[in-house]
Amino acid sequence: MAPKKLSPQGEWFVDATGRKVILRGVNLGGDTKVPFPNGGTQFPTDFSDHKEVSFIGRPFPLFEADSHFTRLKKWGFNVIRLLTTWEAVEHKGPNQYDEAYLDYFTEIVRMAGEYGFYVFIDFHQDVWSRMTGGDGAPGWIFEKLGIDYRKLSEADASIVMQRAYDYSKPGIRQEDNYPTMCWSQNYRYAGNGILWTLFFGGKDFAPNFLIEGQNVQDYLQGHYLGCMKQIAERVKDFDFVLGFDSLNEPGKGFIGRALNDRGLTNKEEDPAKPGLGWSPIDALFSSHGYSVDLPYLTLKIWKGGFVPTKTVTVNQNKVSIWLPESPGDPFQLEGAYTITKDGTPFIEKNDFFQTVNGKAVDFDADYLIPFMRTVGKTIQEIRKDWMVFIEREASDAFTHPYLNGEVPKLSVNAAHWYDILTLLFKTFLYPIAIDTLTKRPVFGKSGIEAMYVRQLTRVKNTADSVPGKIPSLIGEFGIPFDLQGGKAYKEWKKGNHSPKIWKLHVMALDSMYNAMDQLFLSNTLWNYTASNENDLMVGDGWNQEDLSIFSKDQIIPGSDPDVYGGGGRAIEGFCRPYAAFIQGTPLQMKYNLENREFYLEWISDLAIEEPCIIKVPRFVYPNGVQIVLSNAEKISETEGELAVKGNGGKATLILKPL
């Protein structure tokens, strides 16, 4: 049965009866970023077929849907962040929508509701598009902007796995060709710098750049929102659809940066980042076919972060990314810089991307939040009670947790949070971790969990900075499953299918969920990928990421879907009891993985007629559960759920395995 609609009320999600709601779910899925069936980054491509691709089959073919939704339901999840992309909808050309894909996607949404899931829809992107090393925007955009996408990798304007990886040596890491988790460095390269600046700030920084009579900013945003409308119109009658993400991990481009700023200083609000230290002028100058010497930054913990360790010459082949018929770099045409006769860049306005009409710009206040409001207006014209799951640049919610501007109506803080060092380096160093805020080590499970609580509290503060507060839902968090060079996969391949091979993974996930429980945070785990493989080159099928809690390589024929052998990885880490609906206000929620004891304390409100609903996965309590109540009574117990109702005032529930 499809769940009934929710609404935001202060910092909580609430249902029609007044119960507070905690949403726990997954991102579906990691391979939804790329075409089906062979569009993953494990397949070399020059993207020349970008207009003919299809995303039908992402996140999975319809005939597989029952098995995947059943597994997720049995694990206790109640919400899905369902991914699509601009490219999936409009890859054929401007205003040419893939109707067959839209029909398929709508059916996936409908089925998710039938299995009892809430859904919010994420028009996903990472570093702009597949052609710039990620996913999101369609390929025809580049021609409209005068850019030759075929030259981006060759000109070192983007890091693209399909162009950098040596596919004659599959299944391995290739740190010299394509360093682990390097894809996010693309935000500082020319491809992303130019495109994001035009997307958010075209009217200010390229006012004379028109496409079909529109300023480039309006043109790009208009087509993105047009795709959102196409899906919104098809799912508007589903009450279980909560709303839409504004835009996944948006990039700032060059906005707010001095032309000569290489980002080499570790500032609290803008720490130095790994990889090449591009300044805007480096990226723009190089885009014309010039070589540039750049510092390369590497992590040195004793020096407080990422610091320059060597010099790298980029674009050694002196390749231009601009099409011959293109007028060229719009920022050069607007007078930001010139190239002298001897072939060197001359900065005309170092603050070109920092001031407009003499006023300092603020990316959030002047560009991102107005865009969020436009997203809100777009979807709420189709259904007025839809929520807007707002996102900022990936690290901003962590480095400066406040919103500088008026957010859309019915907003939800959908910030992302990761243990950054675990994510980037694919290692969990228990019993030690490094707090990226303080740059100091923490020790033991309790120390790591306390660090996670501090960090998540900081992320939640973004929502609390909005007048009246808004709910928070951590839109992404998770761990790589190829930790320690894929050690668990090697064990599995040798025939060791014991849950113990996932010990580190379970420990990391358990600590994350414990921190979330302490703060009553809703979340969607990254991720569930139906096509995932135990292969260091493949993983989730995108840039060697491997964060899926499911893999087809973990299936042992004849196994139930929700237990080991059914495809799950580190199941104890994420499959756990929690209060999904609360008859009043929760005071404490915690789960002890070692003894599988769950504790809930809440102030029960007799004005709320419906009971608390506790998710009780069979995997956690295969032999049944002992229920201990104080000032409350059991209403019903079904497979996977327990209903209890408080008698007014403080009530408690304890669950123990039989």
Separation between Cα atoms, residue 51 and residue 226, nearest integer Å: 18
Mean pLDDT for the stretch of residues 85-101 = 99
Mean pLDDT for the stretch of residues 440-463 = 95
Q: What element of type H or E holds 602?
A: strand 597-604
pLDDT of residue 72: 99
Which superfamily does 578-657 belong to? Golgi alpha-mannosidase II (2.60.40.1180)
Instruction: Name which of 112-126, 185-199, 239-253, 255-269 the model is least confident about.
Output: 255-269
pLDDT digits (tens, 9 = 90+) for 350-396: 999 999 999 999 999 999 999 999 999 999 999 999 999 999 998 88
pLDDT digits (tens, 9 = 90+) for 390-405: 999 988 888 888 888 9
290 — phi, psi (to 5°)? -115, 145
pLDDT digits (tens, 9 = 90+) for 260-293: 999 998 777 778 899 999 999 999 999 999 999 9
Taking 90 as the threshold, does the pLDDT of residue 301 lie above it?
Answer: no
pLDDT of residue 402: 86
Q: How far, rounded to the nearest angstrom, does the alpha carbon of residue 523 sit from its chain's CA centroid?
A: 11
Cite the DSSP H helix spans in 115-151.
140-145
Question: Angle at Cα 166 formed by Cα 164 and Cα 169, nearest 5°?
Answer: 155
How sure is the predictor about 311, in pLDDT bands with cuts at 50, 70 and 90?
Answer: very high
Structure tokens at 514: 């414990």
Length of the chain: 658
For the chain, the straight-line distance linking the first and the last C-alpha, in angstroms and rounded, comes to 29
Mean pLDDT for the stretch of residues 568-575 = 99
Domain edges within the chain = 20-253+360-574, 578-657
pLDDT digits (tens, 9 = 90+) for 601-648: 999 999 999 999 999 999 999 999 999 999 999 999 999 999 999 999
Mean pLDDT for the stretch of residues 510-527 = 99
Q: Are 536 and 485 in contact (CB under 8 A)?
A: yes
Which among 577, 225, 328 has a CA at the least distance from the CA of 233? Answer: 225
Separation between Cα atoms, residue 119 and residue 243, nearest integer Å: 8
- Strand-by-strand arrangement of the 387-390 sheet: 411-413, 387-390, 241-245, 118-123, 79-84, 24-28, 522-528, 473-474
pLDDT of residue 267: 77
Separation between Cα atoms, residue 105 and residue 100, nearest integer Å: 9
Looking up tokens 């309590």 gives 621
Q: How far is CA 7 from CA 15, 105, 607, in A?
A: 6, 24, 18
Which superfamily does 20-253+360-574 belong to? Glycosidases (3.20.20.80)
Whether pTM exceeds 0.85:
yes
Mean pLDDT of the chain: 97
Is 219 in a helix, a strand, or coil?
A: helix
